Amino acid sequence: MNPTNTTDPDYFHKVVDCQWACPAHTPVPEYIRLIAQGKYTEAYMVNRHSNVFPGILGRVCDRPCEPACRRTRVEDEPVAICRLKRVAADHRDEDISALLPKKPAKTNGKKIALVGAGPASLTVANDLAPLGYECTIFEALERPGGLMISNIPSFRLPATVLDEEIGYITDLGVEIKYNHPIASMKALLDEDYDAVFVGSGAPKGKDLQLPGRDEAAANIHIGIDWLESVAFEHTDKIGKQVLIIGVGNTAMDCCRSSLRLGADTVKVMARKPRAFFKASPWELEDAEEENVEIVVNHSPKSFVVENGKLTGMVFEKMEYELDESGAITSQKSAGDVTIPCDDVILAIGQENAFPWIERDIGLEFDKWDVPSVDKDTFQSNRDGVFFGGDAAFGPLNIIWAVEHGHQAAISIHKYCEGTDVTDRLAAGLNLVTAKIGVNEWQFSNDYDPSDRRQMEHVELTERFRKLDTEVELGFAPEQIATEVQRCLNCDVHTVFEAPLCIECDACIDICPVDCLTITVNGDEDDLRTRLTTDADNLEQALYVSDPLKETARVMVKDEDVCVHCGLCAERCPTAAWDMQYGVIHIPLVEDEVTAAQVAKGVAAE
């Protein structure tokens, strides 16, 4: 293999599994270290810079970082990254106004219209308003937040947290026009805006057309619409026996909300076995803790209506055969069953819908009626119209909506400046040694074998009394102290200087996970057969050095297995290994502005 190019910012970024997996690339180990030092406000601000809504995401983020977490290679459970984000939000200073971006003294005269007050539009406004852009958000509903307020139940995400973090954005002078659905894109484009951002989400819940659907309509609800009417207190009760169709995250919110509105028995009906569920494991756990029954292998067939009223549903019981990889190879029916119920909630998916965008204004839609949107710039085929969040590529989650917002803000700025939207700053990397003395590091390098801390919940009896009692209590001080130590500091990198190595083997002997090998070079497949141990994840790179002085062999480090304990660097007599902080710089629109100013300054000189 060729020697690894560690100056490519992506190389070390990828080693920080959580940060790499986070759509907004939140520097996770960095904020965990700040929490460990009791610097909660700093930890909050580091989060806010990347993901805008730490208090919200610290509760309900989809947390793609956790399954990626390196900790799972050495034990079963990842670091509770999301919970620690909430810790930063819970314990930060109450008043952080001095640290927040400011409403500019005067605007730059550019007007941006944003459709929908969900996380995508809010992020665009958050990034553009401090630069002087006049941002106006049009929202169909009476409150801001999009699905975060209308669909995510308040027992998971309290309204106070939403209000506070959205307030930081409206404080920048962002105007939100409530109860203001945009009915015509054409009309909006005719108005005096320099750019339009569409953050209207994927607002259409899928229906299930089965026999009896129309007769029983009064007791059949579309999940996302029903959750919205619960959130806005238009619905405050439901029947005693409720069936939820589907096992995604929406289903989990529907079943738990039903329990709080008076249901006695709630069954979530799944067509397939558990391995095929779409819901996050923790959402399933939380529902099951509340005694929701999850019924597998039941395929809905028809609604049973008696005297014009829904009384049950017929399901076909399914039997599946799976192959070794777990894929279904065949299925057969094992007869029908009828399950009685008073209400059915359909939670089988969401779609984009743009009834308000005329199809004759030059905006391209593909065959699924989804607008054509560029994956990097978020620009549509029509100049000055940008999409982001669920509206861009279909339903995702909050953290993706935020990342889309950051990127769209860069594009909108470039568009308004008349510069090339595709000419964007690349990510950067700054490496600084973490060494402060002989075998002394700026990070706690010892491995803490503690298990993941478990979140405490409000008592079952207590939590159903009110719809908005937050179930999760947050981490107690002892839990915080332990959980932060479980982080492996993956952003403190092992950096190798081949000319210094005397091939003494000391680093290889001390490495607790057999990460290192000195061997004859070869291609990757060949090298992997000769490493001290095997990788779990072949996506992680092999770090291959220049040829070593004595034997012309190479030092190979498998980035997959390293636990960043720094022992190689401690054992190395020549400091050929060093532990270095890698600060990964992910550019936001403010950086584009600074870079342009610097470039201009240089040109003027």
Ligand X SMILES: Cc1cc2nc3c(=O)[nH]c(=O)nc-3n(C[C@H](O)[C@H](O)[C@H](O)COP(=O)(O)OP(=O)(O)OC[C@H]3O[C@@H](n4cnc5c(N)ncnc54)[C@H](O)[C@@H]3O)c2cc1C
Give the interface with another protein as residue ranges (CB under 8 A). 73-75, 439-440, 445-447, 449, 502-506, 508-510, 512-514, 533-534, 536, 549-551, 561, 563, 565, 567, 570-574
Closest approach of Cβ 34 to ligand SF4, in Å? 22
- Cα–Cα dist 139/535, whole Å: 49
Q: How is residue 93 written in tokens?
A: 């200073």
- Cα–Cα dist 23/163, whole Å: 24
Distances (CA, A) of 145 to 123, 139, 394, 427: 11, 9, 18, 30
Complex with ligand X: residue 357 or 518, whichever CB lies closer: 357
Find which of another protein, ligand SF4, ligand X, none residue 151 binds, CB within 5 to 8 Å per kind: ligand X
Beta 220-222 vs 343-346: how paired, if at all?
parallel
Q: How is residue 141 written in tokens?
A: 């509903």
Complex with another protein: residue 503 or 590, whichever CB lies closer: 503
Q: Which residue has the tokens 């809010």?
A: 122
Residues 488-527 as x/- pattern, contact with ligand SF4 by CB under 6 A: ------x------xxxxxxx--xxxx-xx-----------
- Cα–Cα dist 78/265, whole Å: 33
Closest approach of Cβ 493 to another protein, in Å? 19
Find which of ligand SF4, ligand X, another protein, none residue 200 binds, CB within 5 to 8 Å per kind: ligand X
Find which of ligand X, ligand SF4, another protein, none residue 116 binds, CB within 5 to 8 Å per kind: ligand X
Find which of ligand X, another protein, ligand SF4, none residue 515 binds, CB within 5 to 8 Å per kind: ligand SF4
- Cα–Cα dist 419/405, whole Å: 19
Complex with ligand SF4: residue 120 or 563, whichever CB lies closer: 563
Burial string for 348-370 (b: 16+ CB within 10 Å, else e) reads: bbbebbbebbeeeeebeeeeeeb
Binding footprint of ligand SF4, residue count (CB under 6 A): 28
- Cα–Cα dist 163/144, whole Å: 8
Closest approach of Cβ 283 to ligand X, in Å? 7
DSSP-assigned letters across all residues of 62-101: --THHHH-THHHHSSS---HHHHHHHHHHHS-S--GGGSP
- Cα–Cα dist 264/278, whole Å: 25
Region of 163 (left: φ > 0; alpha: ψ -120 to 50; beta: rest) is alpha
Find which of ligand X, ligand SF4, another protein, none residue 30 binds, CB within 5 to 8 Å per kind: none
Report if residue 194 touches ligand SF4, rule: CB under 6 A.
no
Q: Which residue has the tokens 């619960």?
A: 230
Q: Which residues bind ligand X (CB under 6 A)?
A: 60-62, 115-121, 138-141, 146-148, 151-152, 181-182, 199-201, 203, 224, 227, 249-250, 253, 356, 389-391, 395-399, 401
Report if residue 572 touches ligand SF4, rule: CB under 6 A.
yes
Report if residue 480 touches ligand SF4, rule: CB under 6 A.
no
- Cα–Cα dist 42/588, whole Å: 19
Residues 6+ apart with CB under 8 A from 526: none
Find which of ligand SF4, ligand X, another protein, none residue 73 binds, CB within 5 to 8 Å per kind: another protein
Q: How is residue 386 written in tokens?
A: 């940008």
Complex with another protein: residue 385 or 490, whichever CB lies closer: 490
**What one-letter code names the amino acid at 383?**
D
- Cα–Cα dist 558/519, whole Å: 13
Closest approach of Cβ 552 to another protein, in Å? 10
Find which of ligand X, ligand SF4, another protein, none residue 199 binds, CB within 5 to 8 Å per kind: ligand X
- Cα–Cα dist 367/380, whole Å: 15
Find which of ligand X, ligand SF4, another protein, none residue 551 binds, CB within 5 to 8 Å per kind: another protein
Contact assessment for residue 167 and residue 91, using Cβ atoms and an 8 Å cutoff: no
Angle made by CA atoms 57, 132, 111, in degrees to the nearest 5? 95
Site for ligand SF4 in 330-369 (CB under 6 A): none
Closest approach of Cβ 547 to ligand SF4, in Å? 13
Find which of another protein, ligand SF4, ligand X, none residue 564 binds, CB within 5 to 8 Å per kind: ligand SF4
Closest approach of Cβ 516 to ligand SF4, in Å? 5
Residues of this chain that bind ligand SF4 (CB under 6 A): 494, 501-507, 510-513, 515-516, 557, 562-568, 571-574, 576-577
